Amino acid sequence: MLKELPVSRGGSPDEVANLAELIMSEKGAYITGSDLLIYGGATAKFWSDIAINIYLT
């Protein structure tokens, strides 16, 4: 399943920590009320597959 993700691998704890660090830093001060997903593009892959299936049927 991981090979099907757009990034072709699972995420690491360090990658999650990098986002948390950004949000808590001065560089992330303007980020408010957002959903930030760390998922390797799984949702984008899912919806593009759905769109292709709809288009082809």
pLDDT of 20-48, one tens digit each? 999 999 999 998 888 888 888 777 766 67
Name the one residue in this structure whose structure tokens are 């899912």. 46
- Chain centroid to Cα 45, Å, comes to 10
**Which residues form the domain of 33?**
2-56
Outline where the chain has alpha helix (H). 13-24, 42-56
Q: Which amino acid makes up residue 17?
A: A
Answer whether residue 15 shows pLDDT above 80: yes
Q: What is the C-alpha radius of gyration for the chain, rounded to an integer number of angstroms?
A: 15
**pTM assigned to the model:** 0.59
Domains in the chain: how many in total?
A: 1
